[in-house]
Structure 1
Amino acid sequence: MTSFPEALDHTFVAPIGVDVKGEIWACVEMPGSAEFFGTGKSVKVAATVDGVPVSSAFMPTGAGSHMLSLNAKLRKRLGKDIGDAVTVHLEQRLS
């Protein structure tokens, strides 16, 4: 049984924008996330998005992967919006 928090060192680049039931959400999808996390459930993490620290949860997409929501305040700080790519670095799993 893994105890949390657990140190992580995983980086991926993805565009902002995940199609959820026909709507584009301001999220980034992590490829291979269910295998990486070992679950299809929500997973809380500490990470950076383009170097900006975030503490949030990866939510299941319903299609076998997870997505991380990027709120308007964070997108404005990054100068990024739907369609722009960001670099996500996972540092710690919190749940």
Structure 2
Amino acid sequence: MSEPLDATFVAAIEKDGAFPTFVTLDGSADLLGTRRPVKVRGTLGGHPFDATLMLSGTDPHWLPLRAALCAQIGKGQSGDEVEVRLLERL
């Protein structure tokens, strides 16, 4: 069963740690009520995605970015700002 969400984040693309390309979603643990991995559906730069938000080890979750999605939005360099909109918790 899914749960609707309506949260928008603007974050810089990072390239470090466990994932080659990701964004950190500050405040996501409070929004989602958990510090566990969470499956979500949303948009990145207006393009739809399904993904699992991963733990960063502190409060925010990381959203791993697939190369194909980065190519669709024309961004993928460290420091590029992107808009992430979470629409549904799966």
How high is the TM-score relative to the length of structure 1?
0.86
Range moving further from structure 2, 38-47 or 74-83: 74-83
Show the counterpart of 2:87: 91
- Correspondence for 2:65 among 59, 63, 70: 70
**Mapped partners of 2:45, 2:86: distance in 1:** 11
Secondary structure in structure 2 of the residue aligned to 1:26: strand
**Mapped partners of 1:57, 1:6: distance in 2:** 15
Compared with structure 1, are the counterparts of its residues 64 and 75 closer, same or farther at alpha carbon in structure 2 (3 Å cutoff)?
same
Identical pairs, percent? 42
1:11-65 CA distance string (max 9 Å, x none): 0100110542xx7731011111111111110000000000000001110011221
What stretches of structure 2 of length at least 5 have no aligned partner?
A: none
Show the counterpart of 2:22: 27
Range moving further from structure 2, 44-53 or 69-78: 69-78
Secondary structure in structure 1 of the residue aligned to 2:85: strand
What stretches of structure 1 of length at least 5 have no aligned partner?
A: none
- Correspondence for 1:14 among 7, 11, 19: 11
Deviation at 1:75, TM superposition (A): 0.9
Compared with structure 1, are the counterparts of its residues 6 and 24 closer, same or farther at alpha carbon in structure 2 (3 Å cutoff)?
closer
RMSD: 1.6
How high is the TM-score relative to the length of structure 2?
0.90
**Mapped partners of 2:7, 2:59: distance in 1:** 19
8 Å Cα contact 2:19-2:64 kept in structure 1:
no
**Mapped partners of 2:81, 2:20: distance in 1:** 14
